[in-house]
């Protein structure tokens, strides 16, 4: 009987969750960029670090960390996408054996504190309405960029129905024409490569897309969370020509009408229990027709959960 042997399959390595805060203080009116940055590298030549612990080609994760902080100084953080692109280019262009990698960022938003109605120059309060996301993927000789948002929690207190679903022996759900619908939106949009090439106003786009997602959630009369998801993605793509596709993961955060009938009280969708688990989990991708597919862009990117 032949001996069992093994080989190295897909892999990458790097430094995760570097909490970089960059203050721009060229004038008395400071600006703040607050990021959580992960850098990971790939390359066939790195196999020896796995097979024998030979680190001759291992750009240390500590070096990746230093580079992130140094680049925050040298290049600033015009946008998370642009910051990651600069990092990616550094590692792929600078080390011949580094063939690609995945760079990810979360960005936390801050607003200026109001003092007597005026925004303060150097004092900020963190807003918690969603966290901004970005990734840069270099793979198979191509570069892919995504933007996104997570933890954008929305609720509509009417304008949502759910009925017409099939019934089998395990179906007990009652059909409804009026329910609370609530979700925590995680959405990631992939930019068209030609748009990345031409340059994108990433910050302006983020503001517009998140506004469009919220507006679509609000105005779509929903027959299913799936339908709402699709209309939200469609609205984003219609709004911005730079977007090739949008991937969503949306938990259906159930709000159950509390049964008050034992207490002689009616409850016409007024009092709800917001439940934790289990939750519906609806995932879907909305794709611009004609955009070249790029499934490899999503390699190892957390999308559906």
Task: Report in angstroms how near the CB of residue 186 gets to a copy of itself at its nearest.
Answer: 13
Q: Nearest-CA neighbor of 79 among 118, 129, 122, 135?
A: 135
- Helix ranges (H only) for 32-115 are 47-51, 61-74, 80-94
Site for a copy of itself in 264-293 (CB under 8 A): 265, 267-289
Site for a copy of itself in 218-237 (CB under 8 A): 218-219, 222-224, 226-227, 229-230, 233-234, 237
Expressed in angstroms, the distance from the first to the final Cα of the chain is 41
Structure tokens at 176: 């409804």
Task: Report in angstroms how near the CB of residue 145 gets to a copy of itself at its nearest.
Answer: 18
Structure tokens at 259: 């049964």
CA 213, distance to chain mean position in Å, is 13
Task: Report in angstroms how near the CB of residue 77 gets to a copy of itself at its nearest.
Answer: 10
Residue 56 burial (C-beta neighbours within 10 Å; 0-12, 13-18, 19+):
exposed
Cis peptide leading into residue 184 (ω within 30°): no
Is-catalytic flag, 299?
Answer: no
Q: Which is nearer to a copy of itself, 81 or 106 (CB)?
A: 106
Task: Report in angstroms how near the CB of residue 143 gets to a copy of itself at its nearest.
Answer: 19
Following CA atoms 284, 236, 136, 293 in sequence, which dihedral angle do they give, to the nearest 10 degrees?
60
Annotate each residue in 246-265 with x if it binds a copy of itself (CB under 8 A) or - if it does not, as one string. -x---xx--x--x-x-xx-x
Q: Which is nearer to a copy of itself, 195 or 224 (CB)?
A: 224
Is-catalytic flag, 254?
Answer: yes
Integer Cα distance of 37 and 197 in angstroms:
23
Structure tokens at 182: 């609530």
Structure tokens at 255: 């709000």
Core vs surface per residue 133-145: b (16+ CB within 10 A) or e: bbbbbbbeeebbb
Task: Report in angstroms how near the CB of residue 299 gets to a copy of itself at its nearest.
Answer: 9
Stretch near a copy of itself under the rule CB under 8 A, chosen from 78-86, 138-146, 200-208, 215-223: 215-223
DSSP H/E element including 252: strand 243-252
Could you tell me the sign of the dihedral formed by the alpha carbons of 180, 186, 190, 191, in that order?
A: positive
Site for a copy of itself in 194-213 (CB under 8 A): 211
Question: CB–CB of 123/113 below 8 Å?
Answer: yes
User: Residue from 88, 133, 180, 192 that binds a copy of itself (CB under 8 A)?
Assistant: 180
Given the residues 90, 144, 254, 255, the one annotated as active site: 254
Annotate each residue in 98-137 with x if it binds a copy of itself (CB under 8 A) or - if it does not, as one string. ------------xx-xxxx---x-xxxxxxxx--------
Site for a copy of itself in 160-179 (CB under 8 A): 162-173
Site for a copy of itself in 30-69 (CB under 8 A): 30, 32, 34, 38, 40, 46, 49-63, 65-67, 69
Q: Which is nearer to a copy of itself, 141 or 169 (CB)?
A: 169
User: Residue from 150, 159, 193, 294 that binds a copy of itself (CB under 8 A)?
Assistant: 159
Stretch near a copy of itself under the rule CB under 8 A, chosen from 2-10, 78-86, 139-147, 193-201: 2-10
Given the residues 12, 61, 65, 75, the one annotated as active site: 61
Q: Which residues are identified as catalytic? A: 15, 61, 254
């Amino acid at each position: 009987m032949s001996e069992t042997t093994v080989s190295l399959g897909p892999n990458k390595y790097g430094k995760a969750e570097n909490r970089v805060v960059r203050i721009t203080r060229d004038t008395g009116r400071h600006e703040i960029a607050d990021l959580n940055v992960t850098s990971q590298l790939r390359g066939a030549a790195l196999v020896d670090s796995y097979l024998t612990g030979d680190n001759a080609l291992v750009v240390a994760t500590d070096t990746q960390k230093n580079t992130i902080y140094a680049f925050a100084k040298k290049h600033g953080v015009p946008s998370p996408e642009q910051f990651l692109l600069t990092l990616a280019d550094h590692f792929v262009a600078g080390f011949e054996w580094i063939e690609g990698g995945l760079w990810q960022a979360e960005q936390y938003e801050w607003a200026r504190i109001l003092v007597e109605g005026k925004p303060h120059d150097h004092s900020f309060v963190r807003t918690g309405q969603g966290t901004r996301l970005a990734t840069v993927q270099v793979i198979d000789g191509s570069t892919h960029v995504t933007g996104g948002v997570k933890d954008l929690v929305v609720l509509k207190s009417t304008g949502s129905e759910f009925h017409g679903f099939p019934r089998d022996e395990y179906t007990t759900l009652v059909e409804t024409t009026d329910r609370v619908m609530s979700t925590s939106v995680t959405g990631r949009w992939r930019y068209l490569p030609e748009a990345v090439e031409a340059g994108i106003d990433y910050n302006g786009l983020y503001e517009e897309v998140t506004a469009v997602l919220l507006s679509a959630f609000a105005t779509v009369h929903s027959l299913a969370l799936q339908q709402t998801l699709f209309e939200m993605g469609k609205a984003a793509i219609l709004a911005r020509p730079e977007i090739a596709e949008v991937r969503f993961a949306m938990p259906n955060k159930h709000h159950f009408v509390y049964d008050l009938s034992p207490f002689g009280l009616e409850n016409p969708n007024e009092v709800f229990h917001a439940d934790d688990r289990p939750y519906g989990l609806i995932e879907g991708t909305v794709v611009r027709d004609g955009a070249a597919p790029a499934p490899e862009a999503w390699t190892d990117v957390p999308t559906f959960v």
